[in-house]
A and B are shown apart, each in its own frame.
Chain A
Amino acid sequence: MDLADVVVESGARSIAIVGTAKNVGKTVTLNYLVGELSSRGYTLGLLSSGRDGERVDVLTGEPKPQVYLPRGSWVATAEALLEGASISLEVVDVWERPGVFGRLVLGRVVEPGLAELMGPRSSRQLASAVKKFLAYGADIVLVDGALDRRAAASPLVTEACIFATGASSADDLNSMVDTLESLVWAWSLPQPEDVLVAKLGARAIEKERVALVKLGRSARGEAPVRPVLVSTEYPTALSYEEDIAQEIDENTLALIVPGSVDRVLLQEVTASLAHLGEGRRRPIRAGTDAATRSGDRSREGTKSGWTQPPGTDGAPDTPDGIGENSLVADRTASSARERLPFYLVMRDPSCAMFRREHAVPLERMGGQLRVLEPGRVLAVTINPCSSGEMVYEPRKLVRYIGEKIKSVPVFDVVSGEWFWEEVA
């Protein structure tokens, strides 16, 4: 099996190649794909996701790696990078772009050769450049996920992605594998199963407001039935984590977060779910946990342990007042479901700024992570060589990682080794 076959068979028209760290052979992977795909007759579109800075790698002092741009391919690079380059372009568009490299030039390669790729900085513009290349006639667009790797791999920009990782990405092989597992996990997160949650979520993301999907109550005080969107005033969750988490109550189906979601928000949401699991709302001020009276009793019978299971006698013992009490009683008595699911919904996997293990406590509380725009991972490539001391035997490394990252094929494009353990 070959990486190029995987790409062609995927049918994806735009693919991000994203390195998990520096010097992980991302450009080797990119060059490999450029060579293989163009020799198979595909017209390529090539650009990178907003890189800027020095022309020489800050860490190694070596020149930035260049990509081979075949004749007839559609590429984006900076005006400054074209000066003195062996390639020449037929210029088809020029975009203003802030930064030291000057304007962004989009063109078709007339004289092929090695050059550095460049791209716009915002993911919106990146997406529009990808679309433009496809419209010009590129069969497949490859986006070199440079510094801003997450932007390139966002499903809003590219249809699918390939993660490049290598021995030099971490001193410890296990930590490298952890990073990779987290990325593959995030890019495999599903959409919310509930169509209405997805619809309301999309509306909240469009409005750029953190919002909650709650079961609404009609004016006549009937049991909560209809999910409604309750917007907060926060455009982002960052630095408002605690306030946002406190908005979660018994009737909250989902928390929708535009932009980044980090570990702090996960912790706060987990804490709120834990309090609800004890049949009461979280106290407004953190640190007043002394009132944990109902304790573990209400957790019986539920895996998630955050709502009162039906069948426990009477209303839960709540110290917070009758209003809260009756809400929970209403819900448990009238709802056909045993417990409400809880979704934490992100725009797309590139918003997940936390590791896989940080989501585990939330999942134990019955919370589930979802994305409105799901990602798609085609493959993982590894670079067994390193300028440092640690070098792995390619076959062993490919197998080792392949067994960890199930369902995604792993390649070393230099040695040609690969491993894929398909899971049903």
Chain B
Amino acid sequence: MERAALASQTGRKSKEDFFQGASTEEVIGFSAIWKEVAPRSQAGKRKKSQARPRFPGEEAELRDELSFLKAVTDNWRERPGPYSKLLAVLEGLKDPVEALDRAKAGAVLTPAELFLIGNLAWSSRQAREALLETGLNWPARFEIPDLKTIEKEIFPGAASQLSFYVHDSYSPELARIRQERKRKERDWRNIMAEEASRVEKVLGRRPGLHEEIAIRLTQKDLIEKARLMPELGETRETLTHVHFRLKATQEAVKLEREIARLRQKEAQAEEKVRAILSRKIAERASDLERALHALGEIDFLLARAAVCMDWPGVVPEIADGPVPLKLEGAWHPLVKEEVESRGGRFQPVSITLTSPVTVVTGPNMGGKTVTLATVGLSVALAQWGMLVPASEMSFSLYDFVYFSSQPEEKPGLSSFAVEIVGIKGALARRKERGLLLLDEMGSGTNPAQGLALYAALLTYLASPENSACRVLATTHYGGLSALTGADHWQVRGLVSEGLDLSFFAGANGKEALEEGMKWLYEHMDYRLTRVSPDAPVPHDALLVSRLLGLDREIVEAAEAIIAGRFRRLPEREERP
């Protein structure tokens, strides 16, 4: 409540405000789909972590974003070439943020850091070219500044392979020092090689790695000879060997000193080059940062597009003022995938929420919960800048989405308590434009009290004076819609007339479950139709029990009870 209050004060909501309740994001399947949005670069990942949904008042921005996303998915399908190139560039894009910050602070960048900046400049040029090739008109936030000049500064060689080394070409002074150093090193090597040849003549062996030579203790004469040679110095003795090392002559020692001095000068000259480059980078820092941001935006956009292209989705129609939420042929990608993986066919959801409260009734396994999740997911995806897996959708933006689900593993009082605490949190925001998805609330407690509570809650929420929320509620209770004056939609359910159910009679155990479920999936009509508020709830529970192989005697007794009860009960209670 505090957060909501704060949000309305500042006028800008944070992403945490969108999903009301701890499990909403998870239960409607948004988390799992959002996880599939996988930018390739660190810059893209940062953009994703900063992403927030669009809230009421941001309709125009969202419309632009979504229609551009749609344009990109269409363009990608038509011309995959530039997109493959973009993805490859993003895959190879490094994270130069720290290096850029250091350059801005006046530090001299290391060769590795200069490589990172060069990588950014190089990636920017490649991406710019690819964006041009798409032929699309990319909005400003995707615009990459031209960094060709900086790229040339850092990589003057313009080699085919991206690499950084402080080449001689950066500085004539550096080139001169290096040349001199290399000459002295050559002289030094020649002197040492002459010494080594003299050693070889006497001992029959040449010193190896690190100018070392090891002689076995048993070769006493060789050891004596070695000890007498001015070219060798004894370094250590083990139980098996005596080790000698080539001694540098005076001339060689002098050269070593000079080489060391030149190396120092060389390092200084190199640092000077790196300092100049770092300064140039600092001067262009804002362009480099802009390029990195744009590349991050592109990465994040393509990551979203790739997920949407799998569905493929539509751009929803977004109204400025409040309009009924209308979904045509919507599907839940995760549920669809699961249904199809077991060889089934997912039946799309179509529903319109015209009044403040809409009630959905239907049989067990009739897809009521899937309907709720699909509605919630569609809204969430749209507001988070994704295309919607549906053939058509129109709605106005919501401040939040809430899903009250049945905590499956905690039956009894605790699950009821979870429900109550959850709805209490949502009710605290009832004056905002929220979408409340209620899944068989109160079914974990006493049926009469549960029904009463559910009915009272819906009645309360149906009044515009109490709440600005839209409610979609599922139930097993017949008459809830009539009690509350809510719109009533019903899953068509099982069409059992004219079907031969006898073959299930003999089936038992696991086989009955498998065959029964298969039959159910095949004969369940998941489509929703709008019915009158007092339309009765079909007695599919008994049919399902029979299908799943429950003892025929029990099922028939249950049918008799219902029939008897209906005979005894007055009309009013049967159809409240």
Are A and B interaction partners? yes
**A residues in contact (CB < 8 Å) with B:** 31-32, 35, 68, 79, 82-83, 86, 88-94, 96, 103, 105, 107-108, 110, 384-385, 391, 393-394, 414-415
CB of A79 within 8 A of CB of B110, answer: yes
Chain B stretch 156-172: residues in CB contact (< 8 A) with chain A? 161-166
Q: How many residues of B contact A (CB 8 A)?
A: 25
CB of A94 within 8 A of CB of B240, answer: no
- B111 CB contact (under 8 Å) in A31, A82, A393: A82
A105 to B240, CA, bound (A): 41
A35 to B110, CA, bound (A): 30
Closest-by-CB residue of B relative to A104 is B112
Chain B stretch 315-365: residues in CB contact (< 8 A) with chain A? none
Closest-by-CB residue of B relative to A32 is B209
Residues of B within 8 Å of A82, CB to CB, are 110-112
Chain B stretch 212-228: residues in CB contact (< 8 A) with chain A? 214, 216
Chain B stretch 90-118: residues in CB contact (< 8 A) with chain A? 94-95, 110-112, 114-116
CB of B162 within 8 A of CB of A92, answer: yes
- B165 CB contact (under 8 Å) in A88, A103, A384, A391: A88
Residues of A within 8 Å of B263, CB to CB, are 86
CB of A94 within 8 A of CB of B94, answer: yes
Closest-by-CB residue of A relative to B270 is A88
Residue B557, interface by CB 8 Å: no
Chain B stretch 485-515: residues in CB contact (< 8 A) with chain A? none
CB of A394 within 8 A of CB of B240, answer: yes
A92 to B165, CA, bound (A): 9
Min CB–CB distance A121 → chain B (angstroms)? 17
Residues of B within 8 Å of A96, CB to CB, are 42, 94-95
Residue B137, interface by CB 8 Å: no
A414 to B243, CA, bound (A): 11
Residues of A within 8 Å of B165, CB to CB, are 88-91, 107, 110
Residue B446, interface by CB 8 Å: no
A88 to B181, CA, bound (A): 14
Residue B10, interface by CB 8 Å: no
A320 to B241, CA, bound (A): 69
A61 to B194, CA, bound (A): 36
Residue B1, interface by CB 8 Å: no
Residue B239, interface by CB 8 Å: yes
CB of A90 within 8 A of CB of B240, answer: no
Chain B stretch 134-175: residues in CB contact (< 8 A) with chain A? 161-166
A304 to B115, CA, bound (A): 62
Residues of B within 8 Å of A105, CB to CB, are 111-112
- A384 CB contact (under 8 Å) in B110, B162, B164, B240: B240
Closest-by-CB residue of A relative to B239 is A391
A31 to B208, CA, bound (A): 11
Closest-by-CB residue of B relative to A385 is B238
Residues of A within 8 Å of B162, CB to CB, are 92
- Name 5 A/B residue pairs within 8 A (Cβ), A-sorted: A31-B209, A82-B112, A89-B111, A103-B112, A384-B240
CB of B209 within 8 A of CB of A94, answer: no
CB of A91 within 8 A of CB of B209, answer: no
Closest-by-CB residue of B relative to A393 is B240
Closest-by-CB residue of A relative to B96 is A94
Known: A79-B112, A105-B112. A35 touches B238 (CB 8 A): no
Residues of B within 8 Å of A394, CB to CB, are 240
CB of A92 within 8 A of CB of B161, answer: yes
CB of B116 within 8 A of CB of A94, answer: yes
Residues of A within 8 Å of B214, CB to CB, are 414-415
Closest-by-CB residue of B relative to A389 is B239
A93 to B241, CA, bound (A): 44
Closest-by-CB residue of B relative to A114 is B210
A83 to B267, CA, bound (A): 10
Extra contacts besides A82-B111, A91-B164, A385-B240 (19): CB < 8 Å: A31-B209, A79-B110, A82-B110, A82-B112, A88-B165, A89-B111, A90-B163, A91-B111, A91-B115, A91-B165, A92-B115, A92-B163, A94-B119, A107-B165, A391-B238, A391-B240, A394-B240, A415-B216, A415-B241
CB of A35 within 8 A of CB of B209, answer: yes
Contact with A along B32-52 (1 / 0, CB 8 A): 000000000010000000000
Residues of A within 8 Å of B161, CB to CB, are 92
Q: Which of B112, B164, B165, B209 has the most CB of A within 10 A?
A: B112
Min CB–CB distance A13 → chain B (angstroms)? 20
Contact with A along B71-98 (1 / 0, CB 8 A): 0000000000000000000000011000
Residues of B within 8 Å of A93, CB to CB, are 115
A108 to B159, CA, bound (A): 14
Residues of B within 8 Å of A79, CB to CB, are 110, 112
Min CB–CB distance A88 → chain B (angstroms)? 7
Residues of A within 8 Å of B209, CB to CB, are 31-32, 35, 68
Contact with A along B20-38 (1 / 0, CB 8 A): 0000000000000000000
- A90 CB contact (under 8 Å) in B164, B208, B238, B241: B164
Known: A89-B111, A91-B112, A385-B240. A107 touches B94 (CB 8 A): no
A32 to B119, CA, bound (A): 36
Contact with A along B162-195 (1 / 0, CB 8 A): 1111100000000000000000000000000000
Residues of A within 8 Å of B114, CB to CB, are 91
Smallest CB-CB A-B distances: 7 pairs: A90-B165, A91-B115, A391-B239, A91-B164, A92-B163, A79-B112, A94-B112
Closest-by-CB residue of A relative to B263 is A86
Min CB–CB distance A220 → chain B (angstroms)? 11
Residues of B within 8 Å of A31, CB to CB, are 209
A412 to B166, CA, bound (A): 41
Closest-by-CB residue of B relative to A92 is B163
Min CB–CB distance B1 → chain A (angstroms)? 40
A385 to B216, CA, bound (A): 13
A362 to B465, CA, bound (A): 76
Closest-by-CB residue of A relative to B119 is A94
Min CB–CB distance B208 → chain A (angstroms)? 8
Residues of B within 8 Å of A110, CB to CB, are 165
A94 to B98, CA, bound (A): 13
Min CB–CB distance A355 → chain B (angstroms)? 31
- A107 CB contact (under 8 Å) in B110, B116, B163, B241: B163
A68 to B209, CA, bound (A): 9
A415 to B114, CA, bound (A): 45
Chain B stretch 224-247: residues in CB contact (< 8 A) with chain A? 238-241
Residues of B within 8 Å of A32, CB to CB, are 209
Min CB–CB distance A389 → chain B (angstroms)? 9
CB of B115 within 8 A of CB of A94, answer: yes
Q: Which of B162, B214, B241 has the most CB of A within 10 A?
A: B241
Residues of A within 8 Å of B208, CB to CB, are 35
A96 to B239, CA, bound (A): 46
Min CB–CB distance A229 → chain B (angstroms)? 17
A96 to B119, CA, bound (A): 14
A105 to B94, CA, bound (A): 12
A415 to B214, CA, bound (A): 8
Min CB–CB distance B184 → chain A (angstroms)? 14
Min CB–CB distance A35 → chain B (angstroms)? 6
Chain B stretch 241-267: residues in CB contact (< 8 A) with chain A? 241, 263
CB of B163 within 8 A of CB of A91, answer: yes
